[in-house]
Amino acid sequence: MMTTDKQIQDLLDFIDVSPSPWHAVETVVSRLEEQGFVALSEKDAWDLQPGGRYYVVRDGSSIIAFVVGEMLISESGFRIFGAHTDSPGLRVKPRALSVTDQMVRVGVEVYGGPILATFTDRDLSLAGRVSYQTDTGHIADQLVKFDQPLLRLPNLAIHMNRKVNEEGLKLNKQTGLSLILSTIEGQLGGRDFQKLLAAATSLNEQQIYSWDLNVYDCQKGALWGERQQFIADSQLDNLASCHVGLQALLKEQSLNSGQTLVCAMFDHEEIGSETPKGADGSFLPDILERIALSRKQRREDYQRALANSFMISADMAHAYQPNFPSAYEPEHKVFVNQGPVIKINANQRYTSESVSSAVFKQCCEQIQVKWQEYSHRTDIPCGSTIGPMTAAKLGVRSVDVGNPMWAMHSIRESAGAQDHLDFIEVIGNFFTKPSLLS
Ligand code: ZN
């Protein structure tokens, strides 16, 4: 175990500078541009060159990066890696501030399915984007991030909640989640939220129309464990997978493999993906078709390309936690630092089937990486991923995989360092292997 491995520190840094999906995409963009990737706009006509490296952002928080291979796309197909940029949590309401009982609080809505109790007693702050009117009267947007802890959700003392350890902390989503910002003696009150945003940006308060703001945890990522073999951080689901895809794509061997490689990272997975920039929207089909069209392929060639394509849908998996044995399917426990996990569900909540699972197992075994197989308890509803809807839209063979982690959807999740390193190598092999299927 290389506990000081640069890739692991890089993952922690990647998450630290990505406290919202908009920031995550900005982080990905800066890394792509360092490697010569060129921004494309969906509004422009494209003239893609073989060997060219490109990326497209849709609405700031979904991104598709791709390398145009020298090989004919109709024959080689697309090698697609998919993940998501969003994490469940709290989002600021439009009328953000409320003043009651001498306290100024920020009203929030629940985004997706976080473990709400984990948001108590944390050093919370805000990050996202602000939309404003420019000097010339246009609407533009700008990222905003408060670096210092700004907000808090203090727990109720045990003296007022005597059964908290037996019954767990219950938070009413309407009345129990407002975050404390200030007391009334402070500067803020009424509609002064715009002032707060203006102070954190280069804007003045009159310019600011609206915002998309995520509540994030200021605590930085850390290694832990006897040999520092574990990672603790927010948003491991699914920024860890985004980092895997990006690191694998940016390897020299991947960039020069001759394959057409696609790395798609979508917002809105945690709320069902059915949005213009979500995995169930038109983003990926639009971009793949435009790659084919720009390479002077006909519609039939594009459809042949899809038939020759393969997708790895990457999202985190549930590692065994020995304090809760009854939560797991006894024959399908997966363990942290024992290798990437193939997720299988007979009802196709995951896309994995025997052929696509075999392809992934081979990608692992060729480079001596262990793999594991996960099946959820049959009597508990199973989660899902971007895999099924993306694969269904495209008709592309797909497998759902991901690294084992603890406490999925906690504000402080954990996973294994070795798994992360191994997964990057496996995806690198997937991107560069001469052939996947006969
Ligand atoms: Zn996820």
Q: What is the pLDDT of residues 35-51, one digit of tens each?
A: 999 999 999 999 999 99
Q: What is the pLDDT of residue 213?
A: 98
State in Å: Cα 114 to ligand 1 middle.
Answer: 11
Q: How far is the CA of 132 from the centre of ligand 1 (A)?
A: 31
Q: What's the pLDDT score for residue 188?
A: 56
Q: How far is the CA of 237 from the centre of ligand 1 (A)?
A: 5
Let me know how many helices (H) and strands (E) the chain has, helices first. Answer: 12, 20
Spans in the chain with pLDDT lower than 50: 1-3
Q: What is the pTM of this model?
A: 0.96
**How is residue 66 annotated by DSSP?**
E
Distance 386 CA to ligand 1 centre (A): 8
Give the pLDDT confidence score for residue 5 in this predicted structure: 87
* Residue 173 DSSP class: T
C-alpha span between 160 and 176 (Å, rounded): 15
CA angle 246, 249, 75 (to 5 degrees): 135
CA proximity to 421, closest of 368, 382, 378:
368
Q: How far is the CA of 403 from the centre of ligand 1 (A)?
A: 11
Distance 315 CA to ligand 1 centre (A): 5
How far apart CA 102 and CA 85 sit, in angstroms, is: 37
Residue type, 337: N
112/340 Cα distance (integer angstroms): 25
Contacts 24+ apart (CB under 8 A), 317-323: 317/341, 317/343, 317/374, 317/401, 317/402, 317/403, 317/404, 317/405, 318/374, 318/376, 318/404, 318/405, 318/408, 319/404, 319/405, 319/406, 319/415, 319/416, 320/404, 321/406
What structural domains and CATH numbers belong to the chain?
Answer: 4-87+234-432 (3.40.630.10), 89-217 (2.30.250.10)
Tell me, in angstroms, the distance from the centre of ligand 1 to residue 301's CA.
33
290 Cα–ligand 1 center, Å: 28
Compute, in angstroms, the gap from residue 349 CA to the centroid of ligand 1. Answer: 13
- The tokens describing 421, both together, are 């390193």
Residue 54, C-beta contacts closer than 8 angstroms, at least 6 positions apart: 37, 38, 39, 40, 48, 65, 66, 67, 68
- What is the CA(208)–ligand 1 centre distance, in A? 32
* Secondary structure (DSSP) of 184-207: TTSS--TTTHHHHHHHHSSS-GGG
The pairing of strands 179-183 and 230-233 is unpaired
How crowded is residue 436: how many other Cβ atoms within 10 Å of its Cβ? 19
Closest by CA position to 76, among listed 305, 263, 396: 305
Closest by CA position to 120, among listed 407, 406, 411, 413: 411
Q: Which of 211, 219, 317 is CA-nearest to residue 19?
A: 219
| Assigned token pair, 6 | 């640069």
